Structure 1
Amino acid sequence: MDAWKQYLEWIRKNPDQVTDVENGIKWASYLFTFYLGRSKRALILSEIVQQSGTLIKFINDRAFEKANTIAIGFEFSRLECFLGFIESSEAILELSAHLVGGPVGKWIVVVTLQVLKSTMRGLLLYKRHQMLKYPTIEPLIRDGNQNSQPNQQFSKLRSGKIIRKLEADGRVTNRTWDIREDYNALHMQSKPLGQFQILGEVIYISEPLAYLSALGICGPRSWKPWLLAMGLDVTSQVLSHQKDNQRHFTAWETEELTRRRNNLALYLMRSPFYDNFTKQLVLTALICAKKKIPLTWILIEFILTKLPHYRNIYAYLWAK
């Protein structure tokens, strides 16, 4: 406990150094990619290192909130923190399981994580009757501005949300990390979802499990899991856009719905659609660019080499 308290104090006083460490971990992942070669194992190790930086940032953000609870004015629930931790560590756990246990180990971890995530999201929906947000806990935006004043507020231009700066003075020890909308106000301005919208959220939550079940029954080359997942995704969005009782979407709800709609484009990069259609188009475009655009061959060769591995890592249908 004493070590944890010392760590909290160090984070509070040295936000710039913490950020440098996190960025250093991500840069190290690029060095892994360069020096370890083009093997699949090297790419997996590189991605584990990079995702470790994301996980460490999540832990440091929670530590900062713990050390500055009074100044920030809110705390996330344990359920939200646990769900946020799983979202931040999901890629690390899947890739590590693949390295240690092969495909069997990977799929055991994938199914376990999706069951946990779906259960926790279902509990959040049951407790709040509000739209689910991804990521569940947004990263803190760390501000080194030394001239911020107590209780200063301004509007974020993109969304119109009200943002609050934490108190800071000219000393480095009092620099702050957080520029974030008040969490409690964010949820208080959201009215409970209507029946159609709740049904849309339930479908959205259950879609990864439905897809994994169909994948296990029909196999990875079947179109049925792909069509099922896309059908559930589209149905969920149609229901979520229904406005019950003249309910209007808040700024963050509109932003979340836009993110979900944009993610539909990822179906073009997912098997079996990618294997039958998109792959040939992408390869043809890259090869033509390599021949016609000078000095691009190095970049295009890198893309051609890494694309299959990165697609297998990130373009999966159970990612939400």
Structure 2
Amino acid sequence: MHSKRLTYFGLLGRFADAEFASEALFAALNLIGLYHDSILVRAAESLEPSKKPIPSAHNKYTRYWINLSKTYQRASFALTFLQYTDVLMEMGVQKKWGKQAKWRLITTIEFIKVICRIILFYMTQERTVVNPTIPRREIDPSIFNQEENSTTGNQTWIGQNTRCERDNLSSVINNNTTFNNNIINDYLMSKVLYSEDIRKPSELVHRLHGIGKFAELLYIIRPLIYVFALQKYGNRSWKPWVLSIFIELLAKVFFDHFYKKKVPGGYRWISTLEKEEHKRRIRLFLFYILRGPFYEKFTRPKINNFCQSVSNKPILSLFGGILRDYQPLWENIYFYSASS
């Protein structure tokens, strides 16, 4: 999510409150995107079965719970809304009411996020909370144009024994495309089913119990503990930084133990969706280099030296300028590196 903000780097430093304007643009585009996605999903439901896009494991799983539980739906959209707007709200409150009000807001937002994730955890019958908690955009709007422009001829046939509707081979070959083996291979590969494609949506993520359940709850409350520690010891103290990374590492160790001992086949046999989520959590450790005393003592001097060394070099100086523009945000805006 944070990387998308680079889209608006051109606004930074161009006028007063450029950072606030760029963040407002980021939040607005993402919220509009949520509404647009809901329109695409409803439109795709009217397509012929053979034309409907095959959902990914993530979308299959999250849409299942959204359709099953209104509580899950509300909690997931509330969490997504906060993730899209937390930086914007922090900027606005800090500008209007100062740092004390900002930290009250941060604590409130992190508390609500924890509540939302705990609700999602129990609504999914104690399964790992995947991120994002809502379906991703996977529907290409061009499929609707293809539907409108398709020929009026018979594009499907019905099996005599199974009575299942299938595409004619001619329906997958564009009239302007030379017939070749690649077309057939691409079409057949798109129809291949893997083990996860035939699993029930709820089976795409294992239920947690014992140490696995404790690990997930520990991971969920970690950001709130970090905020309380920051307010008690300050941003320059190593205690909040060490406490936060210790909790995340402890949760990871507990997860590894759970999958090794409690899941048949161990970590190698968990679903792709679970692997993606745990890889994402590992990548989020990189944000620790932008936090607290580690940033002050190690990361910031390195960034300053790099920017200084490339200041007179073409192209590289542009990249250095972008880093310079973003430094105040990393240093002063909590949610830029919060990974929550």
Whole-angstrom distance in 1 between the partners of 2:328 and 2:103: 19
Larger deviation: 257-266 or 191-200?
191-200
| Kept after mapping to 1: 8 A contact 2:75/2:116 | yes
**What corresponds to 2:21 in structure 1?**
45
Residues 61 and 140, structure 1, Cα contact 8 Å, conserved in 2: yes
Match for 2:225 among 210, 213, 216?
210
Deviations 1:191-213, CA, capped at 9 Å, x for gaps: 31232221111111110111111
Match of 1:306, as an amino acid? Y
Q: Aligned pair 1:136/2:133, yes or no?
A: yes
> Secondary structure of the equivalent of 2:333?
helix
User: Is the alpha carbon distance of 1:35 and 1:93 closer, same or farther for their aligned partners in structure 2, counting shifts above 3 Å?
Assistant: same
Matched, 1:222 2:237: yes
Q: Distance in 2 between matches of 1:28 and 1:103?
A: 27
Shift of 1:215: 1.2
TM-score, normalisation: structure 1: 0.71
| Structure 1 residues 27 and 255, CA gap change in structure 2 (3 angstroms) | closer
Question: What residue number does 2:178 align with?
Answer: none
Contact between 2:75 and 2:117, CA under 8 Å: does it hold in 1? no
Partners of 2:19 and 2:100 lie apart in 1 by 20
Aligned to 1:122: 118
**SS, match of residue 272 in structure 1:** helix
Worse-superposed segment, 205-214 or 102-111: 102-111
State the Cα distance separating 1:239 from its structure 2 match. Answer: 1.2
Give the Å deviation of 1:223.
1.0
Instruction: Compute the displacement of 1:51 (Å).
Output: 2.2
Residues 58 and 85 of structure 1 are in contact (CA less than 8 Å); yes or no, is this contact kept in structure 2? Answer: no
Separation in 2, partners of 1:290, 1:27 = 20
1:67–1:308 CA distance, 2 compared to 1 (3 A): same
CA distance 1:193–1:308, shift in 2 (3 Å) = same
Q: Percent identity?
A: 23
> CA 1:313–1:138 in structure 2 vs 1: closer, same or farther (change >3 Å)?
farther
* Whole-angstrom distance in 1 between the partners of 2:146 and 2:97: 52
Matched, 1:97 2:93: yes
Q: TM-score, normalised to structure 2's length?
A: 0.67
Task: Say whether 1:264 aligns with 2:285.
Answer: yes
Cα 1:96–1:194 change in 2 (3 A) is same
CA distance in 1, matches of 2:238, 2:191: 43
Q: Cα offset for 1:226?
A: 0.7
Is the contact made by 2:13 and 2:19 (CA closer than 8 Å) also made in structure 1?
no
Give yes or no for contact 1:212–1:318 (8 Å, CA) kept in 2. Answer: no
Q: Which has the larger radius of gyration?
A: 2
Could you tell me whether the CA contact under 8 Å between 1:32 and 1:42 is conserved in 2?
yes
Letter in 1 for 2:310: A
Structure 1 gap segments, 5+ residues each: 1-25, 164-181
Contact 1:130 1:190 in 2 (8 A): yes
1:33 correspondence with 2:12: yes
Aligned residues: 270
